[in-house]
A = this chain, B = another copy of it.
Amino acid sequence: MKWADVDTTHCGVAAATSIVGDRWIPLILRDVFFGVRRFDDLLTHIGVSTAVLSNRLGRLVEHGILAKVRYRSEGSRHRYEYQLTERGLDLLLVQLALADFGYEHLVDADKRLVDFVDRSTGQRVRLGLVREDGTVIGADSLGMQINEAAASEHQM
């Protein structure tokens, strides 16, 4: 079966893109990953309008990617912050993939703002393709297999 014949209504890329496929969401997630978690801080750092930020945060909470948490720090009054859920943490790989590509091809190497490291050793970390036995392969060795049963389930 050819990919061109597959019914893509249940495609993972399409599903993920329906949430993350937006100019603002990746920037919001990036900032949350990096510790910017309050509405106003996101607002000024990202440079987005209140309406859009409100809308996108709502969407992310609705999809279980962020959790809106009310907290009270010493002496001051309560505040809200947006925390990554476990599901949200899984989007880290998407972020990293975007960052890798951006710094590899679009931003001057000497302007690279951030490095990803292994916290225990400080070594640089990149994204890679990992087999089940833990070994790493190159992108040119990657193939794909269509799951015939699922792919034809909703065909006419």
Q: Which residue of B lies closest to A100 (CB)?
A: B93
Bound-state Cα–Cα, A13 to B113, Å: 10
Q: Please state if B41 and A4 are interface contacts (CB–CB under 8 Å).
A: yes
Tell me, rounded to whole Å, the shortest Cβ–Cβ distance linking A38 to chain B.
Answer: 9
Q: Which stretch from A49-57, A66-74, A75-83, A137-145 is at the chain B interface?
A: A137-145
Bound-state Cα–Cα, A92 to B96, Å: 13
Interface mask (A101-116 → B, CB under 8 Å = 1, otherwise 0)? 1111111101111111
Interface residue total, chain A, C-beta cutoff 8 A: 90
Partner of A107 from the list B12, B112, B139, B153 (CB cut-off 8 Å) is B12
Which A123-156 residues have C-beta < 8 A from chain B?
123-134, 136-137, 139-147, 150-151, 153
Partner of A118 from the list B18, B103, B108, B143 (CB cut-off 8 Å) is B143
Q: Point out residues on A near B: beta carbons under 8 Å.
A: 2-4, 6, 8, 10-23, 25-27, 30-31, 33-36, 41, 45-46, 87, 89-108, 110-121, 123-134, 136-137, 139-147, 150-151, 153
